[in-house]
Amino acid sequence: MNSTHTSESNTLLSNASNVLAITAHEFKTPLTTIASIVDLLSIKLQADRYMNPFYEQQLSRITSEIFSLNNMLDEMLTINNILSGNFEAKKELLYVEEQILPLKEQFRSLTDDRKTLQITMSGTPCKILANSGQLTRIFTNLVSNAFKFSHENAPAIHLSYQENTLVITVSDDGIGIPAEDLPHLFQPYYRGSNTKGIAGTGLGLTIVKTFVAANDGDITVSSEPDKGTVFTLAFRYPDTCQ
């Protein structure tokens, strides 16, 4: 390929990336309109005394699907930014638990089965050097998966402040990941062979892996089908924090 062709294909890719970003953002307003119509219907049904458990459940399902669709859009936008090298690099010293604690409330309001994310800690809290938005995305994706695939028990996060490193585990008692899928788990669009019928884009873990690496961390996974999955993340403390 000569340089003219390379330049043209780069321009095309850049344009395609911009179109995708603009389109994904344009979807947000109609999604808000649909969510607002659901709110309006719900209030009117209650005011007119027509509301019953069936209507309530179906309206709640519409809202839940709106936010699932929105999560997919966010994942597409994030991957688009990653592929075009356009993601935030600004890092600051922060406590990881401050990024994780809001997830407890966020996921409580999105699940019907009243499962609550369990968060535990050991050791003396110490800050790590990381990008706050990327950390939030890492744990949102992992916890979202844990809720999606968990069986009876609520997903759990444990933060272990060790001597030089913060080790975080995100675990669930869900369907697990077959051994043959594990090596491919972080590849874009790869989905586990036992996830048919379960919504997802196959991008969530790619984003997690990319952002963990961008923040100088490591991530590993261990899993057993029908027993559950544990993701283990490790972030070293900056020298000033030890």
Partner 1 sequence: MNARILLIEDKAGLLDTLKSLLELHDYTVITAGNGEEGFAMAIRYLPDLVISDIYMPVINGYELLDKFREHPSLCKIPVLITSGKKEDDEITNAMQKGAAGYLVKPFVFVHLHEQIKKALKKER
Q: Is 43 in the site for partner 1 (CB under 8 A)?
A: yes
Q: Is 31 in the site for partner 1 (CB under 8 A)?
A: yes
Q: Is 214 in the site for partner 1 (CB under 8 A)?
A: no
Please choose, out of 32-40, 156-164, 171-179, 220-228, the segment that lies near partner 1 by the rule CB under 8 A. Answer: 32-40
- Rounded to the nearest 5 percent, the helix, strand and coil shares of the chain are 50, 15, 30
Count of residues that bind partner 1 according to CB under 8 A: 26
By beta-carbon proximity to partner 1, the closer residue of 90 and 114 is 90
Q: Is 108 in the site for partner 1 (CB under 8 A)?
A: no
The secondary structure of 176-225 as a DSSP string is ---TTTGGGTTSTT---TT-TTS---S-HHHHHHHHHHHTTEEEEEEEET
By beta-carbon proximity to partner 1, the closer residue of 50 and 67 is 67
By beta-carbon proximity to partner 1, the closer residue of 8 and 56 is 56
The three-class DSSP label of residue 90 is coil
The three-class DSSP label of residue 91 is coil
Q: What 8-state DSSP symbol labels residue 56? A: H
Contact in structure between 209 and 219 (CB atoms under 8 Å): yes
Q: Is 226 in the site for partner 1 (CB under 8 A)?
A: no
Among 32, 122, 162, 164, binds partner 1 (CB under 8 A): 32
Q: Is 60 in the site for partner 1 (CB under 8 A)?
A: no
